[in-house]
A and B are shown apart, each in its own frame.
Chain A
Amino acid sequence: MTDAHDRVLDRLLQLARDRYGARAEQLHAGDDLYAALQIDSMEAMDLLTALEETFDVEIPDYELQEVRTLSSIAEIVRQRLP
């Protein structure tokens, strides 16, 4: 993966820790974010908004529909960075 990907991943991990506290302490790049944090549909929407605010991007919901690991979410975000 590229440096840009790794930078996004680091910020994503930090975002998860800020939002979910202890639940996110043990998160790794390959983890299923939704399963690891027990995120429901409403929280998933809130997380999408947080991603868009944090990285100043717009991500259509369907881009994340089949994507579950932190690393793959980071890649979706990287592709949309200005």
Chain B
Amino acid sequence: MRTFHGVTLSWTVDEAVLEVKLHRGPCNEIGTAMLHELEQLAALVDDGAAGARAMLIYSDRPKGFSAGADLRELHDGMKGLRSSSARTLAQVLVRRAGAEEPVLATVRDMALGAARVGRRALVQPLVVREVRRFLRRIHAVFDVLDSAPIVTVAACHGVVFGGGFELALTADVRVADASARFAFPELRLGIVPGFGGVPRLEREVGNGVVRDLLLTGRSLNARRAHTLGLVSQVTARGEHVQAARRAARQAARFDPASVAAAKRFVKPVPRARLDAEIDTFLEMLRNPAVEAALERFVTSTDVRPYLP
């Protein structure tokens, strides 16, 4: 499919470059809707990228490339699981009590109370199972983009945070305009990045930089990211997509088989670390502090909600 127009992203092939535009408001938060369309993109790339020899990915959202995982969706999903699980447990208790009206209402209240007390133990395995499924799916997509046999270029501006940063890190080359800021604020929620970000960042820069970003939650501007080698080119504001497009078109001129061989040589997928990341993420997710931090985040009105 040479053109696609979805709810969260679109693509077209132009001059041998597969151009992918992210356009989900407010800032390309990655939830189930975007994951579904990213899976379609990965299937296309896996199937020859419609003949394209390079890929460009960028955002048309004014606020930035991507603000990362859709934390509101995660928060609402956890709440939904909790309430539905409590209802289910209440129904089971009522059934076992064999009660009938009017005793039923009292038994139901007692059962709901018991369900609330036991909800954490009841719900947590469900949350972990659902999050594990989501992570497996997004890792599969990011692995395809990371190891695609064509050159991939990410054009970044504004907010490039969390999962958005992780998506940008799958690209071979990153071009940023002067407004871009890169951050891994996940520790504010009590978790590590879960979409493969740390292993891919480790591949690009030294561990000291990884620790600084992860353990302080600070963001880096484009110039600093360029100095660290995280970004290949910095442009004036608004000029990054054109610069990235020129880089992609240049790469598209090379022999496809040579490019594929070169990429396998210079860009190994850090498989063991990616698997370890999922295990670490899910282990950290079991900490009750995560749910409380998520609640604080989605209700925060602070100008820097990504910091504790």
Residues of A within 8 A of B (CB): 34, 39-46, 48-49, 52-53, 58, 60-62, 64-65
B179, B183, B304: the one contacting A49 at CB < 8 Å is B179
Which chain B residues (46-99) contact chain A, with CB distance < 8 Å? 63-64
Min Cβ gap A32→B in Å is 11
With a cutoff of 8 Å between Cβ atoms, the chain A residues found around residue B246 in the complex are: none
Chain B interface size, as a band, is 20 to 34
With a cutoff of 8 Å between Cβ atoms, the chain A residues found around residue B305 in the complex are: 41
Q: How far is the CA of A2 from the CA of B105 in the complex (A)?
A: 72
With a cutoff of 8 Å between Cβ atoms, the chain B residues found around residue A48 in the complex are: 181, 219, 221
B218 touches A44 (CB 8 A): no
A60-B218, A61-B217, A62-B216 given; A34·B181 CB < 8 A: no
A49 touches B221 (CB 8 A): yes
With a cutoff of 8 Å between Cβ atoms, the chain B residues found around residue A43 in the complex are: 303
With a cutoff of 8 Å between Cβ atoms, the chain A residues found around residue B181 in the complex are: 45, 48-49
A65 touches B179 (CB 8 A): no
With a cutoff of 8 Å between Cβ atoms, the chain B residues found around residue A44 in the complex are: 303-304
With a cutoff of 8 Å between Cβ atoms, the chain B residues found around residue A39 in the complex are: 303
Provide the main secondary structure of the chain A interface. Answer: helix
User: Is there a chain A Cβ closer than 8 Å to B203's Cβ?
Assistant: no
Min Cβ gap B218→A in Å is 4
Q: How far is the CA of A64 from the CA of B219 in the complex (A)?
A: 12
For the complex with contacts A42-B158, A58-B224, 11 further pairs of A-B residues with Cβ separation under 8 Å are A41-B306, A42-B27, A42-B159, A45-B219, A48-B219, A48-B221, A49-B181, A53-B221, A61-B183, A61-B217, A61-B306
Identity of the chain A residue whose Cβ is nearest the Cβ of B62 in the assembled complex: A42
Min Cβ gap B214→A in Å is 13
With a cutoff of 8 Å between Cβ atoms, the chain B residues found around residue A34 in the complex are: 303
A52-B221, A61-B219 given; A45·B159 CB < 8 A: yes
Q: How far is the CA of A34 from the CA of B223 in the complex (A)?
A: 25
* 20 A-B contact pairs sorted by A residue (CB < 8 Å): A41-B302, A41-B303, A41-B305, A41-B306, A42-B27, A42-B159, A45-B158, A46-B158, A48-B181, A48-B219, A49-B181, A58-B224, A60-B218, A61-B217, A61-B219, A61-B304, A62-B216, A62-B218, A62-B307, A65-B307
User: Is there a chain A Cβ closer than 8 Å to B178's Cβ?
Assistant: yes
With a cutoff of 8 Å between Cβ atoms, the chain A residues found around residue B304 in the complex are: 41, 44, 61, 64-65
With a cutoff of 8 Å between Cβ atoms, the chain B residues found around residue A49 in the complex are: 178-179, 181, 221
B178, B221, B307: the one contacting A58 at CB < 8 Å is B221
Identity of the chain B residue whose Cβ is nearest the Cβ of A49 in the assembled complex: B221
With a cutoff of 8 Å between Cβ atoms, the chain A residues found around residue B216 in the complex are: 60, 62
Q: How far is the CA of A44 from the CA of B303 in the complex (A)?
A: 6
With a cutoff of 8 Å between Cβ atoms, the chain A residues found around residue B158 in the complex are: 42, 45-46
Min Cβ gap B28→A in Å is 13
Q: How far is the CA of A61 from the CA of B302 in the complex (A)?
A: 13
B224 touches A42 (CB 8 A): no
A61-B219, A61-B304 given; A53·B178 CB < 8 A: yes
Mark interface residues in B103-134 (1 if CB within 8 Å of A CB, else 0): 00000000000000000000000000000000
B302 touches A62 (CB 8 A): no
With a cutoff of 8 Å between Cβ atoms, the chain A residues found around residue B302 in the complex are: 41
Q: How far is the CA of A43 from the CA of B27 in the complex (A)?
A: 13
With a cutoff of 8 Å between Cβ atoms, the chain B residues found around residue A41 in the complex are: 302-306
A42 touches B217 (CB 8 A): no
Q: How far is the CA of A48 from the CA of B159 in the complex (A)?
A: 12
